[in-house]
A = this chain, B = another copy of it.
Amino acid sequence: MSIRSGSATALGAVLAILASPVLADPLPSWNEGATKAAIIEFVESVTDPALDSYVPEADRVATFDNDGTLWAEQPFYFQGIYALDVLKKKAEADPSILSSDVLKAAASGDIKGATAKGVEGLIEVGNISHAGMTVDQFQKDAREWLTTATHPTTGMHYADMTYQPMLELLSYLRDEGFTTYIVSGGGADFLRSFAQEAYGIPPAQVVGTEGDTKYEEVDGKMVLMKRGGVSFIDDKEGKPVGISRHIGQRPIFVAGNSDGDFAMLEYATSGEGPAFGLIVHHTDADREFAYDREGHIGVLSRGLDEAEKRGWHLVDMKNDWARIWSVPK
């Protein structure tokens, strides 16, 4: 081999390395370790046509919970904080709308009082805060709030409190031929107000709790009006139902963080063929929040007990993630 052809070969090899997507780290905000290795191993196992574990692109469905999985959820679901803010503003204009103790507590920002009755209280608030406007108006207002209101402890805009490692995971999966969906207990209309910008997930790939909407004429234009009331709750055993209704396929990659995601994880990983379950475990009190078995939201107990047995992978936020927020504080 002449020096000349040797150089050309070496140059070719260098160019091949630089151009190779395999050798670029697809998850730079994930520390090296078992979790990151398991994710990459799974993705490679289902995307290599030479392997028995290969899954065609059409079946590469990935579903992600949102609150506590793609962005933070403390001290309370951000949509709940938004609902309280809207209620407060509405009550300033018309105090008579505060017709119950739950609503009075909610309008004063008292989350504990507003949720004392559980999800019923939230629905009562939502029936006022998320009603009487079109879906478009609601989404415009929500988007405005998410990018201007600030979180009580971090001081960040809510829209900036998404997790950088999870954004990388979403992109990585899409680059590898997966279709990524949100499957959240949060409201679908609310999620769609920011999912495209925050996560690269278009409206049609958002599955969430559904408010009652009515098709009607307003000022000569046909619109979809939010009426209050909830027609579908996409949480717990509702998540596999929501997946069946909207996606019509069993996911092969599921990420969640609480026992509200247990059924979705179970559904995905109890089908035929390969599947991957991921649980984001909130272990980082310094950079984010630390919670699991106790608390008013995001409780993770059964998931912790059964993850190992079921082959689900726990993300230890403190040790697995080199960085938390997509936008630095």
Contacts and interface: CB of A to CB of B under 8 A. Distances in A.
A213 interface: yes
A151 to B, nearest CB: 26
Contact of A244 (B135, B240, B245): B135
A266 interface: yes
A58 interface: yes
Interface in A220-251: 221-222, 224, 231-232, 237, 240-241, 244-249
A245 B215 contact: no
A203 interface: yes
Copies of the chain in the assembly: 2
A137 to B, nearest CB: 13
A164 to B, nearest CB: 24
A241 B270 contact: no
Given A203-B247, A222-B267, A215 B240 contact: yes
Interface string A242-263: 0011111100000000000001
Contacts of A248: 188-189, 192, 202-204, 206
Contact of A213 (B205, B222, B244, B247): B244
A214 interface: yes
Interface residues on A, range: 20 to 34
Contacts of A270: 221-222
Contacts of A245: 188, 210, 213
Contact of A204 (B203, B240, B249): B249
A31 interface: no
A210 B245 CA distance: 7
Contacts of A224: 240-241, 244
A45 interface: no
Nearest to A192: B248
A179 interface: yes
Interface string A129-170: 000000100000000000000000000000000000000000
Given A204-B247, A213-B241, A214-B241, 15 more contacts: A58-B196, A135-B244, A179-B204, A188-B245, A192-B248, A203-B247, A203-B249, A204-B205, A204-B248, A206-B248, A215-B241, A222-B240, A224-B240, A231-B232, A246-B246
Q: 4 nearest interchain CB pairs?
A: A203-B248, A215-B240, A215-B237, A224-B244
